[in-house]
């Protein structure tokens, strides 16, 4: 795996840990980090041995959002240059969201603005009970534009409005109520909680998990009942004759581990 400047990648067994690595600025996201995240996710996508991706932040915070220093510089750039930067955000979040591998984000410390976008692009979010969340863009004359489509996969529009209009900080417990996170635990058990979820996912069929992600994303396209019926029928018919399903069923009946846990 390539060495990066703004992220650190650690692959252990079936899990790829991607650490945002700018702790001196609370892992504020700059264009280099966006490029490196996209490259890293693309590389990991090709690794068959990796079953799950975990997105985390070095230091005290997951991410305080976009790099404000870069924001100031952007004010001197042309519209076209800023459009290019904005599209990079959209492309990065889309790369994470559409990864075939399940992605877990671990929220710690401050999770502001674009940091919440990274969470919402992930499949599962685990939060430290001390984490603080805020759509802080409105406080500095901006809007959470590029992250909004991904945030709305978790929040309904009215919940999003109250958080985005005010930019107020909320606790991890409140974030759970708003559906920004899926699990909230005390700091001392966050690692064991993560390990428990990872253990369950890697025991599952890799192709089965991949198919679930595909189907959920397909259903968001607004198909009618007949189209959905065709998609789901083809899905299960395809899986039933796959080598992985035949191996999984045989392993279950023979009371042994399936091949995907022996690699």
Residue 74 is predicted with a pLDDT of 65
Flag whether 113 is in a domain. Answer: yes
Positive or negative: CA dihedral 187, 191, 196, 201: positive
Q: Are residues 43 and 114 both part of a single domain?
A: yes
- Among 183, 201, 219, which residue terminates a domain? 201
CA distance 102 to 87: 24
Residue 263 has pLDDT above 60, yes or no: no
Domain limits for position 162? 7-201
Report the number of distinct structural domains present in the chain: 2
One domain for residues 212 and 193? no
- Say if 234 falls within a structural domain: yes
Please indicate, yes or no, if residue 2 is contained in any of the structural domains: no
Structural domain includes residue 60: yes
Residues 78 and 189 in one domain: yes
**pLDDT (tens digit per residue) in 201-226:** 999 999 999 999 999 998 888 889 99
What is the per-residue pLDDT for 82?
85
In a domain, 106, yes or no: yes
The predicted-structure confidence for 14-24, as pLDDT tens digits, reads as follows 999 999 999 99
144/67: higher pLDDT:
144
């Amino acid at each position: 795996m390539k060495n990066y400047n703004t992220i650190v990648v650690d692959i252990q067994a079936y899990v790829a840990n991607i650490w945002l690595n700018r702790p001196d600025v609370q892992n504020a996201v700059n264009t280099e980090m966006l490029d490196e995240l996209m490259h890293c996710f693309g590389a990991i996508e090709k690794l068959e041995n990796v079953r799950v991706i975990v997105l985390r932040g070095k230091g005290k915070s997951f991410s305080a959002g976009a790099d404000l220093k870069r924001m100031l510089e952007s004010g001197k750039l042309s519209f076209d240059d800023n459009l290019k930067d904005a599209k990079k955000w959209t492309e990065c979040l889309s790369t994470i969201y559409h990864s075939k591998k399940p992605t877990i984000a671990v929220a710690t410390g401050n999770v502001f603005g674009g940091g919440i976008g990274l969470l919402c692009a992930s499949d599962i979010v685990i939060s430290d009970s001390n984490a603080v969340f805020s759509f802080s863009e409105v406080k500095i004359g901006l809007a959470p534009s590029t992250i909004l489509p991904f945030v709305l996969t978790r929040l309904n529009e009215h919940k999003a409005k109250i958080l985005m209009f005010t930019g107020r900080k909320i606790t991890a417990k409140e974030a759970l109520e708003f559906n920004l996170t899926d699990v909230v635990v005390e700091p001392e058990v966050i690692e064991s909680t993560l390990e428990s979820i990872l253990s369950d996912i890697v025991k599952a069929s890799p192709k089965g998990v991949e198919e679930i992600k595909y189907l959920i994303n397909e259903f968001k396209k607004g198909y009618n009942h007949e189209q959905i019926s065709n998609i789901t029928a083809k899905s299960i018919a395809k899986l039933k004759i796959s080598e992985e399903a035949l191996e999984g069923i045989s392993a279950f009946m023979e009371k042994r581990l399936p091949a995907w846990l022996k690699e």
